[in-house]
Amino acid sequence: MKILLVEDEEDLLQVIGTALRESGFSVDLAADGETGLAKGESEDYDAIVLDIMLPRLDGWAVLSELRKTKTTPVLLLTARDAVTDRVEGLNRGADDYLTKPFDLDELIARLRALIRRSVGSPSPIVTLGTVEIDTAARTVTKDGQPVELSAKEYALLELLALHRGRLVTRTMIYEHIYGEEDDTLSNVVDVYVSNLRRKLGGELIETRRGQGYIIR
């Protein structure tokens, strides 16, 4: 899952960024509204965390502008808890909001819920035959037995599972499981896929030669 984080406080940007990465998200960072909007418009993020008080272009403007072209779920971060602020945020097309100071776990849980809702599966449990994925706890079981996956393997499995029945192209995979700080030159997607097949069974993930992968 790939997140765009727009926050002008350098320290907060880094802390939230690290926390999201450690929770298995790929993260892109933007320190002002203009950069945030440019990134948000040019890429398909799974969700955007947007601060309201931003230099150059504030969160409201970013949100309004972004909504002209994108339906990416947006979670607003606000330092004011005035009801009007929250109402305005939701009315302008935000999907959720959090008031500073917030709990990191709550931010991450809300982001996951946002992403699940945006792909149309509100339940955190995704069942694929004998394989069960708990997207909240980020755990996978096969026949009731826990399966150990690396962060990237899990991210790939989650991406495919959430887009179940739809083709996931290699470009989408690169966009969703790699952040700006990842080295994406290595052609390791095939390695992750074969690892997943080995751990969860060969028939789970189908290869569409030259196009991508799909889970049925």
Smallest separation, CB 199 to another protein (Å): 24
- Part of the chain binding another protein (CB under 8 A), chosen from 2-10, 127-135, 165-173, 205-213: 2-10
Long-range contacts of 58-62 (CB under 8 A, 24+ apart): 58/33, 59/6, 59/33, 59/89, 60/88, 60/89, 60/92, 61/33, 61/37, 62/6, 62/33, 62/36, 62/37
Nearer to another protein, 18 or 169 (CB): 18
Q: How far apart are CA 167 and CA 214, in angstroms?
A: 5
- Part of the chain binding another protein (CB under 8 A), chosen from 6-14, 132-140, 165-173, 203-211: 6-14
Q: Which two tokens stand for residue 14?
A: 């880094």
The string over 172-205, giving b where at least 16 C-beta atoms fall within 10 Å of a residue's C-beta and e elsewhere, is bbebbbbbeeeeeeeeebeebbebbeebbeeebb
The interface with another protein within residues 72-131 (CB under 8 A) comprises: 79-80, 82, 99-105
Nearer to another protein, 63 or 107 (CB): 107
Question: Of 19, 57, 136, 151, which lies in the binding site for another protein, with binding defined by CB under 8 A?
Answer: 19
Smallest separation, CB 178 to another protein (Å): 21
Q: How far apart are CA 124 and CA 143, in angstroms?
A: 18
- Part of the chain binding another protein (CB under 8 A), chosen from 11-19, 133-141, 148-156, 180-188: 11-19
Q: Does 136 bind another protein (CB under 8 A)?
A: no
In 3D space, the residue among 67, 35, 73, 32 whose CA is nearest the CA of residue 51 turns out to be: 32
Smallest separation, CB 101 to another protein (Å): 4
- 49, 89, 110 from 174: Cα distances, Å: 20, 31, 24
Q: Does 53 bind another protein (CB under 8 A)?
A: yes
Smallest separation, CB 100 to another protein (Å): 4
Q: Which stretches of the chain bind another protein, using CB under 8 A?
A: 8-12, 14-16, 18-19, 22, 31-32, 53, 55, 79-80, 82, 99-105
